[in-house]
């Protein structure tokens, strides 16, 4: 007979736990899942030495505490069978039905994801995680319970693995649990991860909390007793419970507010649970007439619930012994949602969804609304890295609540701007936003919104969102929409350029040009429509001559017999050369030909600037005045014999090439993040003519890790100097940070970037 770990739950005990809150549970399903999982895991053991089956059993027990349906409990028992035993999806479908089989397979895929890895891989795995959750939210509930039990037994794992698992928990799973409203689970996950990642801080805070609790035990009992009696005198039955903050929540508040332990004002908290919403406000009246309140520490989440469904009244009072105490006042239903979050909405009957949506949630779940919106971003074409960044922003931010002029409540992450507000109302409003009024006053779009602000968006049909907005926006929805609008704008620009190129090519060949003729070229070039074909020509991905031949098969290129290193009217063959890298001088002031690689003798004359869109050993240089930096949109201008010159798209020098589109080459940055390089930029600065003025400018550039190449005094006057500074920076953000800090100096009157 197999020897079980002491205290492991028996089959009948698990069934009793479920039937206690769900008398109509399918006991046969639970018994069958218990036996099947026990047999499949057989003699397998965990790192602790316990039978492996104890793990899925504990996961199931955690989910019974959340009062979940019998189908979810069965999935918990089976969740590791496909991955760790000889069980298959088809076998589970046959024994338990396709619904349970699908859930178990979804969990199997998630368990294979490494969420703490190289950024691109982590992003794609996180995307897969949320896609699995989107199919049925019970996958998330089982996965969180699985992670919680693994964290509870983390001390049995090899030491070198603990940090990775704790980091993954702190970065992904704990915020997800919090975003789903499962606060108790989030706090336990955070505490265990905190203990693993920062054991000294955990022990220090824990010891301080224990000592504080021992010293103030009478205070806690006094408040509980006094409040219960005061409420009873007014005919209100209430449950009053004191509670301690957890070590990680204390640590996080100390970090965020730069406070010492003694400065924290609400280490003690009390929860008051009553029968009705009306009673919540009556309790508030009793509290505020019994003790003094702390100004600015009142929040009503009943009238304006959080997006994860949390509802409660928060207030902080000055209790006996002048100790500040936080009170949370709520109904029993609110208390259940506060404890179980999204699980409180996941109600099933006999394993069926009972007419609810695909995630098994009632439609009034605000947490589910966030989940649906987040998953919707997956379909918008963002890269995995962008999706991960945007989702993490929303996972970790607190919220502010603002209103439209008509009184509609809009919840946003803390730090959000009117741009985020506009996109939260509707994508179309965000795309046409040109200004904002906050509480009736015109304010900049970069203004940080505060709780209670009324925001009115000023719109214009001629507006398109500038790409710079993406750096200002906080919400994932706004950032994704701005990127889509920018891509569409760029596509239209390339389309117009492509049309111009093709019309010139067709005219030179004396061939007819029409949209119907271009449609004949779509199949040859694997393009879905004419607009995409034109954009591809504008980008240089498809040559004009190639399109011409597809539209007019009888056309013969008279230049084919002449050898030239510049095919397609001076355009490089980008399709063949995608991804090739060339060495270019980093110093924008070097002459043409200096610094490119010598293909024959292997001599390398300069540091590397990776550029996509080139073919052949072609001399490449920066624009002679101002250079370009990663983050700039760039274009290459081809000059016979001299090679290619790289310009930022905003360079005024490009105007002289407006009627020479055949010389324009689409190039893009191809930066190696593991080997960062500096790039040239030029600034025009007007500064006061006073001692130390230049030193202040040099200090700002140096403190921001910029490198000055050259300084030239352009004009001297009694009251100011005008100078040109050539410097090297990592990218556009780095350059903008230097510019902004220079502008903040009192001795600097203006700073502008020079583009030659």
Residue-wise pLDDT tens digits, 148-159: 999 999 988 888
pLDDT tens readout for residues 666-718: 777 877 777 778 888 999 998 888 888 888 898 899 888 888 888 888 877 77
| Bigger pLDDT: 576 vs 209 | 209
Give the pLDDT of residue 592: 34
Please tell me the predicted confidence (pLDDT) of residue 391.
58
Backbone torsion region of residue 213, taken as left when φ is above 0, otherwise alpha when ψ lies between -120 and 50, otherwise beta: alpha
How far apart, in whole angstroms, are the C-alpha atoms of residue 311 and residue 660? 64
Q: Identify the H or E element spanning 754.
A: strand 748-754
Q: What is the DSSP letter of 718?
A: S
Specify the residue for token string 């070229």. 521
Average pLDDT for residues 193-214, to the nearest whole number? Answer: 86
**In angstroms, what is the C-alpha Rg of the chain?**
32
351: phi > 0 → left, psi -120 to 50 → alpha, else beta; which?
left
Average pLDDT, integer, range 338-353: 56
Please say whether the beta carbons of 525 and 546 come within 8 A.
yes
User: For residue 644, what are the β-bridge partners?
Assistant: 620, 638
Question: Within its chain, how far is the Cα of 494 from the centroid?
Answer: 29
**Backbone φ and ψ of 326, nearest 5°:** -95, 135
Q: What is the pLDDT of residue 342?
A: 72
Domains of the chain: 11-197 (1.10.3210.10), 202-343 (3.30.460.10), 563-674 (no CATH), 679-754 (3.30.70.260)
Catalytic amino acids? 83-84
The DSSP bridge partners found for residue 645 are 621, 637
DSSP assignment string, 253-291: HHHHHT--GGG-S-SEEEEEEESSHHHHHHHHHHHHHHS
742, 708 Cβ separation under 8 angstroms: no
Taking CA atoms, 734 is separated from 197, 608, 731, in Å, by: 31, 19, 5
* Residue 674 buriedness (CB in 10 A; 0-12 / 13-18 / 19+): exposed
Residue % of the chain over a pLDDT of 70: 77
CA 85 from centroid of its chain's CA atoms: 35
> Which residues lie closer than 8 Å to 111 by C-beta, 6 or more apart?
79, 80, 83, 146
- Tell which wins on pLDDT, 409 or 605: 409
> Using one digit for the tens of pLDDT, what is the confidence trace for 424-474?
898 899 999 999 999 889 998 989 898 778 899 999 887 888 888 888 888
Spatial neighbors of 205 by CB under 8 A, at least 6 apart, are 247, 250, 251, 261
What is the rounded CA–CA span in Å between residue 574 and residue 581? 12
Tokens 């006999």 found at: 350
Phi/psi at 651 (5° precision): -65, 125
| Greatest Cα pair distance in the chain | 104
* Phi, psi values for residue 316, rounded to 5°: -120, 130
Residue 59 and residue 146: Cα distance in Å, rounded? Answer: 5
Question: Which residues is 454 bridged to in the sheet?
Answer: 403
Q: What are the tens digits of pLDDT across the range 30-75?
A: 999 999 999 999 888 888 888 899 999 999 999 998 888 888 999 9
């Amino acid at each position: 007979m197999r020897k079980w770990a002491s205290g492991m739950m028996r089959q009948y005990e698990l069934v009793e736990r479920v039937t206690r809150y769900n008398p109509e549970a399918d006991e046969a399903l639970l018994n069958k899942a218990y036996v099947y999982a026990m047999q499949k895991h057989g003699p397998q053991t965990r790192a602790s030495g316990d039978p492996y089956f104890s793990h899925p059993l504990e996961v199931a027990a955690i989910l019974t505490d959340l009062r979940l349906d019998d189908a979810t409990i069965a999935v918990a028992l089976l969740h590791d069978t496909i991955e760790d035993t000889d069980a298959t999806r088809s076998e589970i479908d046959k024994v338990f039905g396709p619904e349970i089989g699908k859930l178990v397979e979804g969990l199997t895929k998630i368990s294979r994801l490494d969420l703490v890895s190289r950024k691109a891989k982590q992003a794609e795995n996180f995307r897969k995680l949320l896609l699995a959750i989107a199919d049925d939210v019970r996958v998330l509930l089982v996965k969180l319970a699985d992670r919680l039990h693994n964290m509870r037994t983390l001390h049995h794992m090899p030491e070198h693995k603990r940090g990775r698992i704790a980091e993954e928990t702190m970065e992904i799973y704990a915020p997800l649990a919090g975003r789903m409203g499962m606060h108790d689970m989030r706090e336990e996950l955070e505490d265990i991860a905190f203990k693993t990642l920062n054991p000294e801080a955990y022990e220090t805070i824990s010891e301080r909390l224990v000592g504080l609790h021992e010293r103030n035990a009478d205070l806690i009992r006094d408040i509980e007793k006094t409040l219960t009696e005061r409420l009873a005198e007014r005919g209100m039955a209430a449950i009053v419970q004191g509670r301690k903050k957890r070590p990680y929540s204390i640590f996080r508040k100390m970090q965020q507010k730069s406070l010492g332990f003694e400065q924290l004002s609400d280490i003690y908290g009390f929860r008051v649970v009553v029968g009705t919403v009306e009673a919540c406000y009556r309790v508030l009246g009793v509290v505020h007439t019994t003790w003094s309140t702390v100004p600015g520490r009142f929040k009503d989440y009943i009238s304006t619930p959080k997006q994860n469904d949390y509802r409660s009244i928060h207030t902080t009072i000055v209790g006996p012994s002048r100790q500040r105490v936080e009170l949370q006042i709520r109904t029993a239903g609110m208390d259940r949602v506060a404890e179980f979050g999204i699980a409180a909405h996941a109600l099933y009957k006999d394993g069926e969804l009972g007419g609810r949506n695909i995630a098994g949630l009632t439609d009034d779940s605000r947490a589910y609304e966030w989940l649906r919106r987040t998953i919707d971003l997956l379909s918008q074409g963002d890269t995995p890295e962008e999706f991960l960044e945007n989702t993490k922003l929303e996972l970790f931010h607190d919220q502010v609540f603002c209103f439209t002029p008509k009184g509609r409540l809009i919840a946003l992450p803390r730090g959000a701007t009117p741009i985020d507000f506009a996109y939260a109302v509707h994508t179309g409003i965000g795309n046409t936003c040109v200004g904002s009024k906050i509480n009736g006053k015109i304010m900049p779009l970069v203004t940080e919104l505060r709780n209670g602000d009324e925001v009115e968006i000023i719109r214009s049909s001629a507006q398109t969102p500038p790409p710079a907005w993406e750096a200002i926006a906080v919400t994932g929805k706004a950032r994704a929409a701005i990127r889509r609008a920018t891509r569409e704008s760029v596509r239209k620009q390339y389309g117009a350029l492509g049309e111009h190129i093709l019309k010139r090519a067709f005219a030179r060949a004396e061939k007819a040009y029409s949209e119907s003729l271009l449609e004949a070229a779509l199949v040859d070039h694997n393009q879905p429509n004419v607009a995409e074909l034109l954009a591809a020509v504008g980008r240089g991905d498809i040559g004009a001559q190639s399109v011409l031949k597809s539209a007019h098969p009888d056309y013969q290129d008279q230049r084919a017999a002449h050898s030239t290193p510049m095919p397609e009217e001076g355009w490089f063959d980008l399709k063949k050369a995608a991804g090739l890298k060339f060495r270019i001088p980093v110093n924008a002031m070097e002459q043409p030909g200096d610094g490119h690689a010598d293909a024959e003798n292997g001599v390398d004359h300069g540091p590397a600037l990776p550029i996509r869109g080139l073919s052949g050993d072609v001399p490449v240089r920066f624009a002679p005045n101002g250079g370009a930096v990663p983050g700039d949109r760039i274009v290459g201008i081809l000059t016979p014999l001299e090679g290619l010159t790289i310009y930022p798209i905003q360079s005024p020098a490009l105007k002289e090439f407006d009627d020479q589109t055949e010389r324009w080459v689409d190039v893009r940055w191809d930066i190696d993040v593991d080997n960062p390089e500096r790039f040239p930029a030029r600034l025009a600065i007007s500064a006061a003519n006073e001692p130390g003025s230049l030193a202040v400018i040099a200090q700002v550039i140096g403190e921001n890790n910029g490198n000055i190449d050259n300084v030239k005094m352009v004009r001297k006057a009694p009251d100011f100097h005008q100078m040109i500074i050539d410097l090297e920076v990592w990218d556009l953000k780095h350059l903008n940070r230097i510019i902004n800090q220079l502008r903040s100096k009192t001795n600097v009157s203006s700073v502008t970037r020079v583009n030659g």
